[in-house]
Copies of this chain bind each other. A is one copy, B any other.
């Protein structure tokens, strides 16, 4: 019996965990764009080549980190939701939102590195934080509707950002080829209903 207690799946070696932990530390300390295989192995106290025994490429480590992070957050959410009665659907939704935002904020740097839309870091450092005209347009639409009393919005600025994010999610959903082909019309009309509800548009429009 040479088998270890842990499974032999790539997912389960101690070395691998050490490399993951080292990478997570380094990302938090210095950011994703500064992350180097050399640094990771250095921090973990092994030779560079060892990295490729446990990961086929740097990208695989990042994917694994992301997965681990999402799983951890999710476990926390499950716990929080367990406190609420199953019939309190609105309350459960509120709680999901609060927990999700809270968890990501707690792990700021990591969230940023693993989930934020990522351009090579220099783009930001160079200070080219482009104003987004599409966002401005949406904000004007929402602002006008709110002013006219057609939308029930206390916070136009936040709603604009959220709706923009939702719209991008719709696009991503449609572009994600791995899935069975989704009906564009279906997603579109679902998004429009979603948007109307989110801004509190009255039935008349």
Interface positions of A (Cβ within 8 A of B): 56-60, 62-64, 66-67, 70-71, 73-74, 77-78, 81, 86-94, 96-98, 100-101, 104-105, 108, 111-112, 115-126, 128-130, 132-134, 137-138, 141-142, 144-145, 148, 150-152, 154-155, 158-159, 161-175, 178, 182, 184, 186-188, 190-202, 204-205
In terms of DSSP, what is the predominant structure of the interface of chain A? helix
Q: How many copies does the complex hold?
A: 2
Q: Are A170 and B188 in contact (CB under 8 A)?
A: no
Q: Are A60 and B167 in contact (CB under 8 A)?
A: no
Q: Kindly provide the distance from the CB of A194 to the nearest chain B CB, expressed in whole angstroms.
A: 5
Complex formed: what's the CA distance from A96 to B136 in Å? 12
Complex formed: what's the CA distance from A151 to B90 in Å? 8
